[in-house]
Homo-oligomer: A and B are copies of this chain.
Amino acid sequence: MADELDAVVRADQTMPDHLSMRDEDGEIRADFVAAISRAIAEENAPFLREIVSDLHEADVGDLIEALDSDERVRLVELTGADFHFSALNEVDETVREEILEELEPEAVAEGVRELDSDDAVELLQVLDEDEQDEILGKLPQSERDALERSLDYPENSAGRRMQTEFIVVPRDWNVGQAIDFMRETPDLPDRFYEIYVVDGINRWQGAIALDALLRSHRDVPLADLIDEDRRKVSVLDDQEEVARLFGKYNLVAAPVVDTDDRLVGVITIDDVVDVIEEEADEDLKALGGVSSGEELSDRVWTIARSRFNWLLVNLATAFLASSVLGLFEGALEQMVALAVLAPIVASQGGNAATQTMTVAVRALATRELGSSNAYRVVMRELLVGLVNGIGFAIITGLAAYAWFRVPGLGVVIGLAMVTNLVAGALGGILIPIALDRFRVDPAVASGTFVTTVTDVVGFFAFLGIATLWFGLK
Contact = CB atoms under 8 A, between A and B. Distances in A.
A204 interface: no
Interface in A310-356: 310-312, 314-315, 318-319, 321-322, 325-326, 329, 332-333, 336, 339-344, 346-348, 351-352, 354-355
A182 interface: yes
A369 interface: yes
Given A193-B210, A296-B369, A339-B339, A216 B183 contact: yes
A5 interface: no
Judged by DSSP, the binding face of A is helix
Nearest to A380: B300
Contacts of A315: 344, 348, 392, 395-396
Given A252-B269, A336-B329, A370 B304 contact: no
Contacts of A383: 300, 304
A269 B280 contact: no
Contact of A193 (B252, B284, B333): B252
Among A209, A310, A325, residue most surrounded by chain B Cβ atoms (within 10 Å): A325
Nearest to A371: B27
A314 B358 contact: no
Given A343-B322, A348-B318, A388 B269 contact: no
Nearest to A56: B249
A314 B424 CA distance: 15
Interface in A366-415: 366-373, 377, 380, 383-384, 387-388, 391-392, 395-396, 399, 403
Given A303-B380, A319-B344, 19 more contacts: A58-B248, A66-B372, A182-B211, A193-B210, A210-B210, A210-B211, A252-B252, A269-B269, A276-B276, A285-B358, A290-B359, A296-B369, A308-B388, A311-B351, A325-B343, A329-B340, A332-B336, A333-B333, A342-B343
